[in-house]
Amino acid sequence: MLLPTRSLILLTTTCLLRPTTATPPCPLEGPVFPKPLHLSQSNTIKTAVANLTTTFEDFAVSSAKNFSFTLSVFSAHDAEPVFSFFHTAPKLASINTTGVKTVDSDTVFRIGSLTKVLTNYLFLINAGDRIWNEPITKYVDELRALGNGSEVTNTAWDQVTIGGLASQMTGIPRDYALLGELTQTPATRDKVIEYGFPPLSDDERPPCGDFPTCDREQFFHGIASFYPSLAPFTSPAYSNVAFQLLGYALETITGKTFDSLLQETLINPLGLNRTFLRKPEESLGVIQGTPAKTGWTFDLGESAAAGNMYTSITDLSTIGRSILSYKLLDPVPTRRWLKPFSFSTDPKAAVGAPWGARRINVDPEQPYRWTTAYNKAGSIGMYSAVLAILPDYDIGFAALLHGDIPGNANFHLLDMAGKILLSAIESASRSEAASLYNGHYSSTTDKLNSSITISTDDLPGLSVTQWISNGTDFLRTSTILQNGYTPVTPRIRLYPADLTNKKQVVFKAIFEDADAPSKEGMFSTDCATWVNVEAVIYGSAAMDEVIFNAVDEEQGGKAGSVSLPALRVTLDREG
């Protein structure tokens, strides 16, 4: 089964001659290194932060004359931000404002639809996702009364599930009377006939909307006559109504108001002092103009759960950290939450609840090295906001903006920060992993000729550069056993399993042929590592299981030994 030595020599030569044709590693989905715990101490990060400071100072002067913003990059493992930046629009100094004159980490901004993330968070904290597949009609009486239409002109409300609403998959109406309704929008309401729309009868015209906002009864009366937008679970389609309904359902389930749930289960436990569902004192906010004109005062009424909230960059970062550190929601439901539900038309973007999942190619030279940012943006009046969290690194990016904001400036700020920081974060993660796990481990107790060498290089994960088990070249043997053929160039890399206790950290070994012939086609892929996890088992222990031990906090978490359950051996670190 093993290759004769002659081929081995041949191989080495082939490898040296064709380094660029090597098959790229196909890691497991998720982090390729343990999550970095000491980003702020990393020199790579310090250099990147210095660069970011210069970059944002230049940007503030050249491109942000007319708006203010606060930005923060945070880690779940550090109370201080990795990077933060505050910019006050110069004109704020010269105008009359009832808000702050200088923006800082406590300045309150509106966040618009970013509210939806907090609504979903509150739902999961207070009701869980066990009822994700139950119909909304079970929890909202008015919808039950609307019946079970399945025609083109009636929404089949009994087919509209809680989870479908949370992930924008139900095809229900987007808004009722509030946003997008031409008869309610000051800029358009007097021009509709001019545009070519016919006159409406009184009962066709919403009796409420922008001002006064619709009460609960008017809202349900309104959506009763609305056609469905798409069949449920066809395509994601953005809806504000969905989040108003989720808010109502949560009130039914808990018997508490949305406001009190926000206060008791999010604001109080996290110690947030600048987060509000309804308009707070003007002196806390940044208001570049009159409160009415800037949109500071505009109240969404019954639709508050879809977009009414206000917060500061400190509070928004605290909320982001709480998600990543499982402070209010357990690890498993949190990880379930931070997964996409549907594709979108852009292959790099997917849709979750209600996160937009954005796939980011971490290393342009590695076609299968991707991480995912879970994003939600919002804008209302002259305010805009965005939060992106990257669970693979336990980090987040947040920005709050106000003033005359160019389109997409919220995402642009994150793009600027991410472009400089992400590769530094990957590099810092690799360095932390190197200091904890790199080394030569060998048998000291059983007098076995068994050893393994772990090191990091330019590729994702930890590399196994040498592996001998009781005198055999196990690097080669294991790769043959795993792949079912003799690999041209065996390659073993270790990726975190996210299984850990105070003393042990588990990695999965991935056994690849670094020079495998390409198999990519219409239905086939070169990269499906997940299919082969634990494919080889010896006496009920998986060959790919690698457990680092004595991961001692006092020693900075440095591994003292490695256990290989299939080989029934523990190898001690040398030196």
Is 76:321 a contact under the CB 8 Å cutoff?
Answer: yes
Q: 165: closest CA among 354, 323, 358?
A: 354
Q: Considering the complex, what minimum distance in angstroms separates the CB of residue 472 from ligand NAG?
A: 6
Q: Which is nearer to ligand NAG, 52 or 165 (CB)?
A: 52
Query: What are the C-alpha distances in Å from 257 to residues 11, 138, 249?
Result: 69, 18, 10
CB of 351 to ligand NAG, least distance (A): 27
Cα distances (Å, whole numbers) of residue 296 to 177, 223, 383, 441: 20, 27, 8, 62
Evaluate whether 217 touches 144 at the Cβ level (below 8 Å): no
What is the identity of the amino acid at 326? Answer: Y
Cβ distance to ligand NAG smaller for residue 51 or 297 = 51
Determine which residue in the list 3, 448, 506, 527 makes contact with ligand NAG, applying CB under 6 A. Answer: 448
Among the listed residues 24, 30, 147, 163, the single contact to ligand NAG using CB under 6 A: 147
Least Å distance, CB 55 to ligand NAG, is 6
Of 160 and 353, the one with the shorter C-beta distance to ligand NAG is 160
Contact 236, 167 (CB under 8 A): yes
Q: Does 158 bind ligand NAG (CB under 6 A)?
A: yes
What lies within 8 Å, CB to CB, of 21 at 6+ separation is 515
Decide if residue 471 touches ligand NAG (CB under 6 A): yes
The H or E element spanning position 322 is helix 313-324
Cis, peptide link before residue 354, omega less than 30° from 0: yes
Complex with ligand NAG: residue 447 or 502, whichever CB lies closer:
447
- Nearest distance, CB of residue 274 and ligand NAG, angstroms: 7
407 interacts with ligand NAG by CB under 6 A: no
User: Is the CB of residue 96 less than 8 Å from the CB of residue 81?
Assistant: no
Which residue is it, tokens 């903006």?
A: 401
Q: Shortest Cβ distance from residue 268 to ligand NAG (Å)?
A: 11
CB of 556 to ligand NAG, least distance (A): 29
Among 261, 395, 468, 566, binds ligand NAG (CB under 6 A): 468
- In the complex, minimum distance from the CB of residue 354 to ligand NAG, in angstroms, rounded to a whole number: 26
Which residue, 252 or 273, is less far from ligand NAG as judged by CB?
A: 273
Which C-beta is closer to ligand NAG: that of 105 or that of 254? 105
Interface with ligand NAG (CB under 6 A), residue from 96, 153, 201, 524: 96
Q: Find where tokens 């160019």 sit.
A: 406
Interface with ligand NAG (CB under 6 A), residue from 21, 43, 66, 444: 66
| Touching ligand NAG, residues 257-316 (CB under 6 A) | 271, 273
98 lines the binding site for ligand NAG (CB under 6 A): no
420 binds ligand NAG (CB under 6 A): yes
43 binds ligand NAG per the rule CB under 6 A: no
Which backbone phi and psi does 45 adopt, to 5 degrees? -70, -40
Chain centre to alpha carbon of residue 469: 41
Residue number with CB closer to ligand NAG (106 or 129): 106
Q: How far is the CB of 44 from ligand NAG (least distance, A)?
A: 12
Q: Are 495 and 510 contacting, i.e. CB atoms less than 8 angstroms apart?
A: yes
Among residues 240 and 570, whose Cβ is nearest to ligand NAG? 570
Choose among 165, 158, 166: nearest CA to 135.
Answer: 158
Tell me the number of residues near ligand NAG by CB under 6 A.
21
In the chain, the N- to C-terminal Cα span, in Å, equals 35
**Cα angle, residue 276 at apex, residues 273 and 280 outer, rounded to 5°:** 90
> Could you give the CA distance from residue 303 to residue 310 in angstroms, rounded to a whole number?
14
Asked if 142 interacts with ligand NAG (CB under 6 A), we say no
Candidates 23-31, 58-66, 226-234, 527-535: pick the segment binding ligand NAG (CB under 6 A).
58-66
Q: Smallest distance, Å, CB 474 to ligand NAG?
A: 9
Rule CB under 6 A: choose which of 473, 498, 526, 572 binds ligand NAG. 473
| DSSP designation for 138 | G
Selected from 7, 63, 525, 555, the binder of ligand NAG by CB under 6 A is 63
If you count them, how many residues does the chain have? 575
Query: Considering the complex, what minimum distance in angstroms separates the CB of residue 425 from ligand NAG?
Result: 13
Please give the backbone phi and psi of residue 357, each rounded to the nearest 5 degrees, phi first: -95, 125
Q: Which is nearer to ligand NAG, 300 or 475 (CB)?
A: 475
Q: Indicate the residue among 28 and 409 with the shorter CB distance to ligand NAG.
A: 409
Within 10 A of 338 (CB to CB), how many other CB atoms are there? Answer: 19
Q: Let me know the angle formed at the C-alpha of 506 by 502 and 512, rounded to the nearest 5 degrees.
A: 165
Cβ of residue 449: shortest distance to ligand NAG, in angstroms?
4
Residues 541 and 568: their CA atoms lie apart, in Å, by 9
Which span (59-67, 240-248, 485-493, 550-558) binds ligand NAG, by CB under 6 A?
59-67
Cα 411 to Cα 419: distance, rounded to the nearest angstrom? 12
Instruction: Choose one: 383-391, 453-461, 467-475, 509-517; the region binding ligand NAG (CB under 6 A).
Output: 467-475
Burial 446-472 (b: 16+ CB within 10 A, else e): eebebbbbbebeebbbbbbeebbbeee
Binding site residues, ligand NAG, CB under 6 A: 51, 54, 63, 65-66, 95-96, 106, 147-148, 158, 271, 273, 404, 420, 448-449, 468, 470-471, 473
